[in-house]
């Protein structure tokens, strides 16, 4: 097993060696050799008490990297002179910030001022995927943290109601192909999705009196029974809500498990099979079957788990290396929520 993992590391690192030469495998081997172990062991301890941490961290890294790059800007609280990405509508349902704080505190107790929040987030996201039943992939490190947030750019995040052309165009602006987009959306294999993010598909879709015709009729009835007419409540345009975990049982917070066929029963593969059956929960997911190229990848991932896991790992590595800050271009926050006051 270790030999196989080593070969994967070599192959993947060769594949992305040109993405950012400033990042390294085991960047902290001299300054904080325990960093990966601290992150993984602390995350595992949290996960054993609260499995919802895995999809929460995964969603955080997507919302961080997709905005201005993987710089931990999504973790920053607002101040009198700086807005926060957390406060924008696409990010208001994000969770997991307290868990990031816990992991960071463990790192600071052993290696103060060494490991960046940006690196913490991408490593924790990889480990979260493994905990959710997804594939291992190597993570290069050496990222630095941003000293500001980018709330205005948060509105460029994908929406759960994006049609296929819009979705493909959004990912293309970040350098992702249609194939990579289909692969990345396989992350919607885990977590909870609140009814407010897909209820428009269930009632009077497109100005009609019927549900979305691309949804299997029996599945639509199931979702209607779960949501219990929450469509009378207000909507939030938060994107990628499938990764937002919640155990709330209130009327407004009725939710559907993304892995409704059973946790860990087939990360990715069952997601794509459900799309082929018209049982995608989010409109943006089901739309992957609306185009010839994307539908082809849906079919291939549904039938070939090895292909999906390989492509998903490569796409996550590419996402994790998006527009990173390195060297003197960033800093290392001691508290992930705060920028050092000396930098203002």
At 102 the three-state DSSP class reads helix
Cα dist from 169 to 9, 63, 159, 239, whole Å = 31, 17, 12, 15
Annotated catalytic, 63?
A: yes
| Separation of alpha carbons 180 and 168, rounded Å | 10
- Kind of pairing, strands 255-257 and 192-194? antiparallel
Catalytic residue among 63, 99, 188, 194: 63
Residue 225's Cβ-count burial label (10 Å; 0-12, 13-18, 19+) is exposed
Q: Is 262 left (phi over 0), alpha (psi -120 to 50) or beta?
A: left
Angle at alpha carbon of residue 143, lines to 58 and 121, rounded to 5°? 20
Go through 182-209 and write b for each residue having 16 or more CB atoms within 10 A of its CB, e for each that does not.
bbbbbbbbbbbbbbbbbbbbbbebeeee
Which pair of structure tokens corresponds to residue 159? 């929406």
Which pair of structure tokens corresponds to residue 276? 């082929």
| Separation of alpha carbons 58 and 25, rounded Å | 21
> Which of 88, 212, 224 has the alpha carbon at shortest distance from 159?
88
Cβ–Cβ < 8 Å for 138, 317:
yes
Cβ–Cβ < 8 Å for 175, 19:
no
Active site residues: 63
């Amino acid at each position: 097993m270790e030999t196989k993992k080593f070969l994967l590391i070599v192959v993947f690192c060769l594949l992305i060696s040109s993405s950012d030469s400033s990042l390294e495998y085991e960047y902290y081997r001299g300054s904080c050799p325990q960093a990966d172990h601290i992150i993984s062991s602390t995350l595992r301890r949290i996960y054993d008490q609260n499995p919802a941490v895995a999809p929460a961290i995964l969603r955080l890294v997507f919302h961080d990297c997709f905005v201005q790059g993987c710089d931990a800007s999504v973790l920053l609280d607002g101040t009198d002179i700086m807005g926060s990405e957390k406060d924008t509508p696409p990010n208001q349902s994000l969770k997991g910030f307290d868990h990031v704080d816990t992991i960071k505190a463990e790192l600071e107790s052993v290696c103060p001022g060494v490991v960046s929040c940006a690196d913490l987030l991408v490593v924790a996201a990889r480990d979260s995927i493994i905990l959710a039943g997804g594939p291992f992939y190597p993570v290069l490190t050496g990222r630095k943290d941003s000293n500001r947030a980018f709330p205005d750019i948060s509105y460029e995040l994908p929406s759960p109601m994006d049609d296929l052309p819009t979705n493909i165009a959004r990912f293309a602006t970040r350098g992702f192909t249609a194939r990579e987009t289909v692969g990345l959306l396989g992350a919607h294999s885990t977590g909870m999705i609140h009814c407010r993010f897909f209820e428009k598909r269930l009632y009077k879709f497109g100005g009609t009196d019927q549900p979305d015709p691309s949804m299997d009729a029996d599945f639509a009835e199931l979702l209607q029974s779960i949501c219990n007419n929450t469509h009378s409540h207000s909507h939030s345009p938060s994107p990628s809500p499938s990764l937002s975990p919640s155990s709330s049982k209130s009327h407004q917070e009725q939710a559907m498990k993304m892995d409704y066929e059973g946790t860990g029963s087939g990360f990715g593969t069952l997601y794509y099979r459900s799309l082929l059956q018209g049982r995608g929960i989010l409109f943006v997911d089901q739309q992957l079957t609306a185009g010839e190229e994307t539908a082809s990848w849906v079919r291939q991932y549904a039938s070939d788990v090895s292909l999906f896991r390989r492509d998903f790992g490569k796409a996550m590595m590419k996402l994790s290396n998006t527009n990173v800050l390195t060297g003197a271009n960033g800093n290392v926050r001691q508290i992930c929520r705060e920028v050092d006051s000396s930098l203002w």
